Chains A and B, each alone.
Chain A
Amino acid sequence: MTPRPLLALLLCACPLAAADLQKDTDPGAVCEHCGPDTAQEPGADPFLEPDHRAAAPLPDLPLADSAGAARTLGGLADRPLAITFVYTRCGNPNKCPRAAKAIAGLHARLAAAGLGQRVRVALMTYDPEFDTPERFAAWAGTHGVTAGDDTLLLRPDAARKRELFSALGLGVNFDDGGVNIHSLELLLLDRSGRIARRYHSVIWNDDAVVADLARLADEAAPKR
């Protein structure tokens, strides 16, 4: 399946638009049949063409991977990145555990599609104060996620995590004890470290994400 009809499907639920799927649809365009409000899938924001993405990459705030090595989102931008956000103390089995399992599944799908070496997937914790590298890795392991070159377990700097989450536009909030509410989100970052698409609210469709990442991997590398 080619990405574009699939994206059009994702972007528009209007039955009258079915005939348009064979056309060279602009994924960001508004459905001419049903107007602007229904042109967007509730569980995904539109895919942004390069010209529509933020002019500047995300701020290079400090991260650490599961080996303790210093990382930044900008430093990871040599490949497109699919990243979701979790924390090991999450009490809702329908959120973080499901998101982690879904990342494991997505990783397998990307490998099967031959994209394993061209893109990365990552889990980032909302709760680096509690989620030590060991605890985070053990928890991720129970959900099928093992750190490696193409799979990252990232911990933001505790003092600057709110700044990072705000820059990423994440739906998360805190009380004195830690996370008190969060959304389910998957961000796709391009090779400039800019957000190309945000999946949210429901576990994403792997087909759609694989197609998005293939498209991002095919985009011309940014000049550095």
Chain B
Amino acid sequence: MPFRALGRSASLALIAATAMAAAEVAPDRADRLQRIAEAIEQGHGEVGSLMFALRNLAPTVEEALPIYLRLLRRESDSARGYALLGIAALGPRAASAQGALVALLGEPSASAYVKGEALRSLDAIASEDASLVPVLERSLRDVALTPRAKAPALSLASRLGPDAAALAPLAAGFLDDPDTSVSGAAYLAIGAIAARRASGAPAPGMPVAEQYAAMRDRAGAGDAGAIAAVLRDDPRHAARACALDFLAACATWDEATTAAVVAATAGDDVVLAGCARSTLLGESVRGLTADRSHLPLAPLAAALGDAHPAARRAAADALARQGAAAVPASGALRDALIACDGRRSAVEVLALLDAVRAIGSGAAPAADAIATLLVPQSALFTGRPHREVQRLRARMLATLAAVGVPRSARPQVLDALANPDPVCLLEFVGAARAAGREGRAAGYATPHLLHALDSDFPDDLAEPLSDSPAPHRPLRPTELPRDAVTARVEAIRALAAIADPSTAPRLREAAQAGFANAGNDALLRTELAAALARLPHGATP
């Protein structure tokens, strides 16, 4: 839906997925939890690493929450950011953290970043405690917070309903905000605060509270047509955006409704047009179409060139969900990638890459575009911070590994493997996967992949928490979780795919010696054994 903070949802989903994947309980689990808690208590260790280790243990609320609360007492924005992200991921189960969050919001020295994240976490807890009203009022008046940061406060006001009546005048001040996530939240808050039943059909120009209630009732009855009238004829931005939100919740649309949404996609209000496209092409279409193969590829492909970032992103996400069935959109994805320069958000570029990756081998045209964009002088990288460039290139290489590696990309694969940045091995990981995809043709990569077996190779996680608020710090080998897929693991997998008989002695030597200082030694040995087993007959004793 247009009002949702998609990026945030993705982060929380990532955390949840990580925790579920690590559900296997290690025998020394309690001991490891204890050590993490002690490290947090004593201020030892890098918080990001500790949080990763914690998530791998799939902690219960009772285990995790005290750790998060301890982190909140630190003064570091980074530490607090991790804690707030964790609390938000727990959602309503973290209700007991409400007091700490309220205290944080009242702390004069807390940064705007921390306060914004605290509001998000408070919103995620989904409290309906009326005592929050003064806290929300203070936050909505806080000049240090951006309107986007205040949106969760408006969302909380919606949840409180009539109890938040004191906030209605403040919410009204956001109705004209150009950011629909803000103006929409304000509209919803005012509507929920009024909370009376509609006396009739929603009509353009009605008072917000009345119109909201009427649209809510009609959405509940599945009457999209009545809501479409607001979208079609109401001059107010937030009212129309909210109508789009309610329309997305309607199970069926009649032709007039579809026409109204389509018309909104081409309106002068570019933000609303983006929302309309999102509604039309994203969530609502997915909701309306049980069989995803019937999703309209042509409009999705066309939307990749939309003027509004939200629409482009929604289209890329929708294509990614179709997987290989989106092959006909490969050309449009290629064009969209070529159109990306340094001003295009990394999130959007990553969404395009994910769509290409989901198509897989059928996306050859897009693979050629990616190879072109990979060169350092590409406009895609101009003006971006160094670490963002590394993250993008890593994902581009990993995408090529899924699609196929054009020969024109080989110099970039080679460069990433031969000159790894010890502080950030993501490009090395992407290149190792790409080389593995090439199989026996990637003999050029072999000597550089073998360097990963050296004892002084600065191994690190293959997929650090790129959505974390703090820069990633490489883990020490001993800190690596036992099941950690690392750059070294990826290199061994690539060597297995290349299956060069000349690598046998080095692989065997590494398998025998092991990596005593690495936490994932057992996994490394398993991978080495698998690599040796794949060598042609005669290469191993």
Contacts and interface: CB of A to CB of B under 8 A. Distances in A.
Nearest to A42: B444
A89 B277 CA distance: 45
B420 A94 contact: yes
Contacts of B376: 171-173, 181-183
Given A166-B377, A173-B377, A181 B419 contact: no
Interface stretch (B156-164, B202-210, B363-371, B384-392): B384-392
A166 B378 CA distance: 11
B382 interface: yes
A201 B418 CA distance: 7
A181 B411 CA distance: 15
Q: Which of B386, B390, B412, B443 has the most CB of A within 10 A?
A: B386
Contacts of B443: 13
B129 interface: no
Interface in A84-104: 91-95, 98
A42 B377 contact: no
Contacts of A95: 419
Contacts of A41: 444
Interface in B405-422: 407, 410-412, 414-415, 418-422
Contacts of A42: 410-411, 414, 444
A43 B423 CA distance: 24
Contacts of A176: 383
Contacts of A130: none
A199 B389 CA distance: 23
B419 A180 contact: no
B419 A92 contact: yes
B415 A180 contact: no
A173 B392 CA distance: 14
A94 B375 contact: no
A146 B77 CA distance: 45
A175 interface: yes
Nearest to B448: A202
A19 B423 CA distance: 45
A184 B418 CA distance: 10
Contacts, number: 84
Interface in A199-218: 200-203
A91 B411 contact: no
B381 A181 contact: yes
Interface in B125-157: none
- Size category of the binding interface on chain B: 20 to 34
A77 to B, nearest CB: 24
A170 interface: yes
A175 B386 contact: yes
B423 A180 contact: no
Given A184-B415, A200-B415, A91 B410 contact: no
A175 B385 contact: yes
Contact of B381 (A92, A180, A201): A180
A181 B448 CA distance: 20
A149 interface: no
B383 A175 contact: yes
Contacts of A98: 419
Nearest to B412: A201
Interface in B157-191: none
A118 B414 CA distance: 32
A136 to B, nearest CB: 21
A43 B414 contact: yes
Interface in B421-450: 421-423, 443-444, 448
A92 B418 contact: no
A93 B383 CA distance: 23
A173 B443 CA distance: 29
A173 B378 contact: yes
Contact of B421 (A94, A183, A200, A203): A94
Interface in B292-340: none
Interface in A169-200: 170-177, 180-184, 200
Contacts of B382: 173-175
Contacts of B407: 37
Contacts of A165: 377
A173 B380 CA distance: 10
Contacts of A93: 422
Contacts of A201: 411-412, 414-415, 418-419
Nearest to B383: A175
Contacts of A172: 376-377
A13 B419 CA distance: 22
Contact of B375 (A171, A174, A184): A171
Given A37-B407, A93-B422, A183 B415 contact: yes
A143 B378 CA distance: 30
Contacts of B415: 183-184, 200-202
A171 B421 contact: no
A37 B421 CA distance: 29
B414 A175 contact: no
A94 B454 CA distance: 15
Contacts of A203: 418
Nearest to A170: B377
Nearest to A179: B386
Interface in A40-87: 41-43
Contact of A94 (B383, B386, B422): B422
B389 A181 contact: yes
Contacts of B393: 181
A109 B410 CA distance: 29
Contacts of A181: 376, 381, 386, 389-390, 393
Interface of B: 375-378, 381-386, 389-390, 393, 407, 410-412, 414-415, 418-423, 443-444, 448
Given A173-B381, A202-B448, 4 more contacts: A13-B443, A95-B419, A181-B390, A184-B418
5 contacts: A43-B444, A92-B421, A174-B383, A182-B376, A202-B415
Please give me the 9 A-B residue pairs with the lowest Cβ-Cβ distance, nearest first. A171-B376, A201-B415, A201-B414, A94-B419, A202-B418, A42-B444, A181-B376, A92-B421, A173-B381
